[in-house]
Structure 1
């Protein structure tokens, strides 16, 4: 299996009233997150966001529905996942996106990736996610979309 690229997306999924979708990881019990995923060779960031959204939730949206925050951050890859990257790769660049979906959206999780999902308020979601960059994006969500 080829190594993952150290370039990924974080996609915050929310309803019009800013309920946020969170997914619990299979490989890290109790670790909740928004949709994430590494870019594949030749794939644009928007294409990665659309692919990961579908793979992890079953939701299909157009590229125009995804909001590119024009923001990225670098973080150290957790030791438990470094084997997925080329030797010596220790950091990842994560690009942030969001998408608004109807409150009654049907979610179909990928059972090999996630054990369950929940909808949460932004405040609840911030305390529930394990990733500091995910928590930061959630904090920014209200300012971007309220009103």
Structure 2
């Protein structure tokens, strides 16, 4: 079954620090919490689910920023989508925490997590949409 070309991006931050996760594949690909919607799932529910799956964090205070991005699907994940699908629609959410906290990663999906100063997170984030979201939050 192919993935839906609809995803959420959840920027988790605390003051001037931003949480980034390094994906297993491709190595060196850093991003905020992200993932595709499942059939019948709404944007907020997907953000809550992905936040829990990828970090173990509770969604208390999760905010829909109203930012929507469209972008070509990255070649590393192209095979996960139907052949005619070229673009993904991404809705951006934010979660502000009072202080950086440890997160629980799924080792099959991510190598590591880091709380980084905003400017360093901007340099490390692999996608332009993630960089734009970090700048705006």
Alignment TM-score, normalising by the size of structure 1: 0.89
What is aligned with 2:112? 116
2:59 paired with 1:61: yes
2:124 to 110, 114, 128: 128
CA distance in 2: counterparts of 1:130 and 1:75, whole angstroms = 13
5+ residue gaps, structure 1: 142-147
When the two chains are superposed, the root-mean-square deviation of aligned CA atoms in Å is: 1.0
What's the CA shift for 1:104?
A: 4.5
Map 1:1-147 to 2 at 5 A: 2-15=1-14, 17-62=15-60, 65-141=61-137
Paired residues, number: 137
Is the alpha carbon distance of 1:88 and 1:58 closer, same or farther for their aligned partners in structure 2, counting shifts above 3 Å? same
| Structure 2: unaligned runs, 5 residues or longer | none
Question: Could you list the runs of 4 or more consecutive aligned residues of structure 1 that deviate by over 6 angstroms after TM superposition?
Answer: none
3-state DSSP class of the match of 1:28?
coil
